[in-house]
Amino acid sequence: MKEDLINKIQKLKEEKNAVILAHNYQVTEVQDIADHLGDSLQLSRLAAEVEQDIIVFCGVKFMAETAKILSPRKKVLLPRLDAGCPMADMITVEELGELKKAHPQAKVVTYVNSSVEIKAESDACCTSSNAVKVVRNIDADKIIFVPDRNLGAYIQSQVGSDKELILFEGYCYVHNRIKKEEIEATKKLYPKAKVVVHPETRMEVIEIADEVLSTGGMLKYIAASPDKQFIIGTEQGLIERMKRENPGKELYPALRPKICSNMKRTALIDVYNALEKDRYEIKIAASLAKRAVKALDEMLKYI
């Protein structure tokens, strides 16, 4: 049954000249059929570069929207319309407008986990892997950073007094759930383990970590590290991928696995339906995309 579905997906993909991009947090069966797996920055770059006519984006909505803005002539399909990112919806254009009014000298750097409307109001976007570089290089001392307060606090700790960041109260419900006490309790079980966390985690977690990395950064770090045991502060889908790719290493979540239910919505049948029925196509008004692409182009300047 599953094999049958996989064969049908492969056949449709070839017939329609489509490519499947999937984020590291997707369920294993979707990761397995993807042509490319990656973090937000890697997938954005791929979306801008791939040659196929159709991109099936297995991730959450802001990622598929980013792909569409960067590749406007391609058809971009999001297999599940209900796969959103709650953090991306936490800030409204009105709230960003108020921050801009209160800080007229500041430039706006927006985490890619955001709506197209917010991106269109921004000077630059960033992902978790290049956020510090984008902020360091932007031509302003004062920066409004939205929507993730945890990533914002991490960037501030890295850039020091060179830049002043004005933060918004958004957060990721998955990473924000990881507590310092959970890391410490896991560390008691595995005292030699290196602690590797995502910058969307709370500052109290970041402060006790050995490494703070994007999902793509974690993959590279674990593969290259001579250490054997790791406590990983991020979503479980990435931990599963790292276990498959690093059979000699021991990887533990902070006490219990943390799951992004939005990332887990996409199943093989949804990928099949997306290809078969051309659904759900991402459409963005040209005038809006034109404003948002400038901030995304700034993001793509930094690795």
Q: Give the Cβ contact number of residue 1 at 10 Å.
A: 6
One of 56, 58, 108, 172 touching ligand 13P (CB under 6 A)? 172
DSSP letter at 60? -
CA distance 134 to 298: 8
Half-sphere exposure of 138 (CA within 13 A, CB side): 29
3-state SS assignment for residue 243: helix
Residue 85 or residue 135: which is nearer to ligand SF4 going by CB?
85
**Does 40 interact with ligand 13P (rule: CB under 6 A)?**
yes
Question: Which residues in the 170-209 window bind ligand SF4 by CB under 6 A?
Answer: 172-175, 200
CA distance 213 to 220: 10
**Does 86 interact with ligand SF4 (rule: CB under 6 A)?**
yes
Helical axes 286-300 vs 40-49, angle rounded to 10°: 120
CB of 85 to ligand SF4, least distance (A): 3
The partner in contact with residue 86, picked from ligand SF4, ligand 13P, none with C-beta cut-offs of 5 to 8 angstroms by kind, is ligand SF4
Q: Let me know: does 38 contact 24? Beta carbons within 8 Å.
A: yes
CA of 135: how far to CAs of 30, 60, 140, in Å? 34, 25, 9
CB of 148 to ligand SF4, least distance (A): 8
The partner in contact with residue 118, picked from ligand 13P, ligand SF4, none with C-beta cut-offs of 5 to 8 angstroms by kind, is none
One of 31, 128, 150, 266 touching ligand 13P (CB under 6 A)? 128
CB of 127 to ligand SF4, least distance (A): 11
**Does 266 interact with ligand SF4 (rule: CB under 6 A)?**
no
The partner in contact with residue 40, picked from ligand SF4, ligand 13P, none with C-beta cut-offs of 5 to 8 angstroms by kind, is ligand 13P
CB of 295 to ligand 13P, least distance (A): 16
CB of 35 to ligand SF4, least distance (A): 21
Q: Give the Cβ contact number of residue 48 at 10 Å.
A: 16
Q: Which residues pair with 54 in a beta bridge?
A: 18, 75
Give all strands of the β-sheet with 124-126 in edge-to-edge order.
124-126, 107-111, 142-146, 164-167
Task: List contacts with ligand SF4 (CB under 6 A).
Answer: 60, 85-87, 113, 172-175, 200, 235, 260, 262-263
